[in-house]
Homo-oligomer: A and B are copies of this chain.
Amino acid sequence: MNNTVLLISCPDTKGITASVANFIYQNNGNIEHADQHIDSQSDTFFMRIEWSLKDFKIEKDKIAESFKPLADRFKMRWALHFTDKVMRMAIFVSKYEHCLYDLLLRFKGGQLNCELPLIISNHSLAKETADSFGIRFVKFPIIKENKLQQEKREIALLKQEKIDLIVLARYTQILTKQFVEEFPEQIINIHHSFLPAFVGRQPYKQAYKKGVKIIGATSHYLIEKLDAGPIIEQDTIRISHRDSIDDLIRKGQDLEKAVLGRAVRWHLDRKILVYNNKTVIFD
């Protein structure tokens, strides 16, 4: 598969779809997927369009240049991706390994279109798992005093490894502003509650105490403010008074895996557009 994916957002006006579709058609491209959305509150146009490069008249490295005048005309924010250029993903993990394992198995099973060269942890526990999948494991122990310094070393390693996507698979350290700003819309977190309910620590305990009848999990892009970034995916499961906190944890972990798996997959397939701290998912 050798396709181009174009992601667009711009003020809505007449002629955007026609102009983009013409650009592709006149250069002999075959559209394989196209999806658009108009946010009527803000009059914003969003589009994801994917076409085959087979017989496309413009060379790959000239497409951006050719498309730019059209993009400028409509004041687009846009990004051009090629499906044969997969992202490089790093996974951060602490002590709970269920999300790590789930991502590794989805990766191994071909569900995640990426390279996976690196697992980072503040603990040693996940090393064995990383080893068994043949993936490099680097430990950065973190205490209050060394946090900024360790983060700098992590950033350097991530840059060196050309990492495009960082997945926090139940990573318990709160990343600082310096780290988050280095990777805008490139860090996906899983929070084990139905956000915005139960922000912060021990959401299952909070849920148990509150007596909710349904629990959830939320995957979102990390921003500096805790558990407040654009939500990518959520899911919920029914609980009852019979469920202990341990039952909530067990049921919730299945949700976490499913929700994070879908979010990562959509990101890797370039199916997400962020605006207004929200997401458009072209699934």
- Mark A residues whose CB is within 8 Å of B: 14-15, 17-19, 21-22, 24-26, 28-41, 98, 101, 105, 109, 111, 132, 194-198, 210-214, 216, 230-236, 238, 240-242, 244, 250, 254, 258, 261, 276-281, 283
Contact = CB atoms under 8 A, between A and B. Distances in A.
A42 to B, nearest CB: 12
A132 B29 CA distance: 47
26 contacts: A14-B30, A15-B25, A17-B21, A17-B31, A17-B34, A18-B18, A18-B21, A18-B24, A22-B22, A33-B38, A35-B36, A39-B241, A194-B216, A194-B236, A195-B197, A195-B212, A196-B212, A211-B231, A211-B277, A214-B216, A214-B235, A236-B236, A240-B281, A241-B279, A242-B283, A254-B261
B254 A231 contact: no
A132 B133 CA distance: 10
Question: At the interface, is chain A mostly helix, strand, loop or mixed?
Answer: mixed
* Number of copies of this chain that the complex holds: 4
A108 to B, nearest CB: 9
A29 B14 contact: yes
A18 B22 contact: yes
A194 B210 contact: no
Nearest to A235: B214
Closest 3 CB pairs of A and B: A211-B278, A18-B21, A18-B25
